[in-house]
């Protein structure tokens, strides 16, 4: 390693930041990170077509799996902090590898990422740590699954154990559908991720996402958020990666959050420590607020998408320092995240057909968008031969607005969204219905 490169890792500098990932989440992280005047450059590997519209941002073409080339490039660029966005590189141990090369990394090692990449491991972890969650059974064969489904008085939720891009969860209405879901998974629909399955008691209640930035021992909480997972209005239709979100979630009062901290967040960090897992990154707690209190539906080892796009505009310029402190194990735990006093809302525009098959390559035109408190974060876009912006994914882009209340937020989000056009554009008109006065009385 060159002398230059080593110096960039030793000094407490925050000049050059690298973000790994190519979604709207990573663009919103870059947008929040570049606000800090210490930051000179934010690199994204690979980013997408929207990345370079963000101040100080540059995309890098390099294969993250080519370890030698990657380290050489990061040394050359004198990268001071690396933020890993998606779950797959985390589950593959990229954070461990980069830490061994002396980089400061925000993102858990392979051991911590197991919270997300093995649902059965996460459920067993919760059982051991006495963390409230739905009852479950881990099963390794269709026969075993059939017995449990058959003897259960209610249809059970069926989940592939491993990563399945958010598609491995089935919520059947009948036992027959449960069998079919289990069969589909064991027949290889999700490859190795379906070698075992988790059957879960179906629980009910509104869902909320809580994010803890962890330094291995201590943590700070970001504003809460609520996502809209279903494709269609009135929360109908198939599950998606997320069609929109709002933050903070008024559903969680300070008292609720204190209880959740005591019963869920702290026991999770303590449980990880008991297993000698030093978790330096964000833990995403997907919670369901049931009649008997908050229960963990899932853990993720990354920021939520689109919750991240929604929360990032509420962060002040010190956000990047918090990530750095986490990467170094230096949080005091008393940090007050200073956020805007506004609220934020995000609407995702998708390609027609998503979350199933869809076409890409349609030109996107963007008219006049508010210049203050309104952001567009590209999720799936590409640049055409003549420099034009093209659709390149199921979720194409998000529009995010901040204002005094949610009615104003979404009025502006939808007004600005009218300025964005592409063939087959689809979005829900009722994002934030729970917190919009007019819509919440209609629903
Ligand atoms: P997951 O990928 O585990 O978050 O599951 C995706 C979605 O399925 C969640 O956001 C919930 O809406 C739903 N879900 C998952 N597990 C359960 C459960 N045990 N009971 C009811 N709904 C669930
Ligand atoms: N918005 C849900 C997720 O990121 O998993």
Across the chain, mean pLDDT equals 94
Number of CB atoms found within 10 A of residue 26's CB: 32
Phi, psi of 10 (to 5 degrees): -80, -45
pLDDT digits (tens, 9 = 90+) for 48-82: 999 999 999 999 999 999 999 999 999 999 999 99
Go through the domains of the chain in sequence order and give each one's CATH number.
Answer: 3-112 (3.40.50.20), 135-200 (3.30.1490.20), 204-328 (3.30.470.20), 343-421 (3.90.600.10)
Candidates 370, 306, 315; CA nearest to 340 is 315
Look at residue 344 in the predicted model and tell me its pLDDT.
97
CB 32 within 8 A of CB 313: yes
Provide the β-strand partners of residue 197.
139, 160
Q: What Rg value do the Cα atoms of the chain yield, rounded?
A: 21
Ligand 2 contacts CB of residue 108 (under 6 A): no
Residues framing ligand 1 (Cβ under 6 A): 134, 157, 166, 169, 171, 200, 202-203, 207, 229, 239, 286, 297-298
Does the pLDDT of residue 7 top 80, yes or no?
Answer: no
Does the pLDDT of residue 161 top 90, yes or no?
Answer: yes
Look at residue 339 in the predicted model and tell me its pLDDT.
74
Pocket probe mutation, ligand 2, options 166, 283, 355, max atoms within 8 Å of Cβ: 166
pLDDT digits (tens, 9 = 90+) for 332-377: 988 888 778 899 999 999 999 999 999 999 999 999 999 999 999 9
Pocket probe mutation, ligand 2, options 305, 310, 347, max atoms within 8 Å of Cβ: 305
132 alpha carbon – ligand 1 mean position (Å): 14
pLDDT digits (tens, 9 = 90+) for 228-252: 999 999 999 988 999 999 999 999 9
Q: Give the DSSP H or E segment for 232.
A: strand 230-232
Q: What is the mean pLDDT of residues 137-143?
A: 95
Q: What is the mean pLDDT of residues 405-425?
A: 98
Q: Give nearest CA residue, ligand 1 atom 18.
A: 202
Provide the β-strand partners of residue 84.
20
Does the pLDDT of residue 6 top 50, yes or no?
Answer: no
Candidates 52, 37, 25, 107; CA nearest to 321 is 37
pLDDT digits (tens, 9 = 90+) for 163-217: 998 888 999 999 999 999 999 999 999 999 999 999 999 999 999 999 999 999 9
CB 109 within 8 A of CB 92: no
Cis peptide, bond prior to residue 306, ω within 30 of zero: yes
Which tokens go with 213?
């930035």
Euclidean distance between CA atoms 205 and 228, whole angstroms: 14
CB 108 within 8 A of CB 279: yes
Q: What is the mean pLDDT of residues 114-128?
A: 97
């Amino acid at each position: 390693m060159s002398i230059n490169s080593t110096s960039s890792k030793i000094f407490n500098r925050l000049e050059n930041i690298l973000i790994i990932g190519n979604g709207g989440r990573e663009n919103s992280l870059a947008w929040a990170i570049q606000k800090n005047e210490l930051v000179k450059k934010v690199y994204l590997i690979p980013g997408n077509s929207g990345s370079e519209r963000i101040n100080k941002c540059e995309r890098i073409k390099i294969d993250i799996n080519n370890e030698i080339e990657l380290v050489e490039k990061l040394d050359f660029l004198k990268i001071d902090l690396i933020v890993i966005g998606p779950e797959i590189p985390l589950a593959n141990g990229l954070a461990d590898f980069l830490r061994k090369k002396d980089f400061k990394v925000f993102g858990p090692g392979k051991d911590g990422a197991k919270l997300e990449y093995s649902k059965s491991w996460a459920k067993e972890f919760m059982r051991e740590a006495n963390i409230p969650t739905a009852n479950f059974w881990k099963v390794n064969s269709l026969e075993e699954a059939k017995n449990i489904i058959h003897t259960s008085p209610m249809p059970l939720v069926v989940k592939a154990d491993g990563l399945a891009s958010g598609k491995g969860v089935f919520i059947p209405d009948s036992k027959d559908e449960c069998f079919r879901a289990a069969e589909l998974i064991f027949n290889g629909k999700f490859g190795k991720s379906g070698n075992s399955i988790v059957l879960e008691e179906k629980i009910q209640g509104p869902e909320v996402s809580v994010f803890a930035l962890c330094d291995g021992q201590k943590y700070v909480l970001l504003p809460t958020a609520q996502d809209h997972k279903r494709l269609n209005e009135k929360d109908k239709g198939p599950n998606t990666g997320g069609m929109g979100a709002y933050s903070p979630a008024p559903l969680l009062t300070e008292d609720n959050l204190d209880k959740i901290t005591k019963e869920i967040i702290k026991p999770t960090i303590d449980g990880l420590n008991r297993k000698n897992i030093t978790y330096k990154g964000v833990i995403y707690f997907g919670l369901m607020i049931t009649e008997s209190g908050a229960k963990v539906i899932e853990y993720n080892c990354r920021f939520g998408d689109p919750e991240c796009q929604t929360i990032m505009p509420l962060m002040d310029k010190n956000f990047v320092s918090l990530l750095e402190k986490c990467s170094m194990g230096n949080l005091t735990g008393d940090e007050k995240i200073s956020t805007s006093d506004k609220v934020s809302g995000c609407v995702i525009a998708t390609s027609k057909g998503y979350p199933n098959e869809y076409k890409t390559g349609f030109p996107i035109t963007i008219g006049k968008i508010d210049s203050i408190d309104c952001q567009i974060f590209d999720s799936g876009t590409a640049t055409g031969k003549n420099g034009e912006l093209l659709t390149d994914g199921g979720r194409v882009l998000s529009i995010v607005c901040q204002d005094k209340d949610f009615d104003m937020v979404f009025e502006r989000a939808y007004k600005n969204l009218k300025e964005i056009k592409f063939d087959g554009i689809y979005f829900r008109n009722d994002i934030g219905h729970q917190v919009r006065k007019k819509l919440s009385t209609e629903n």
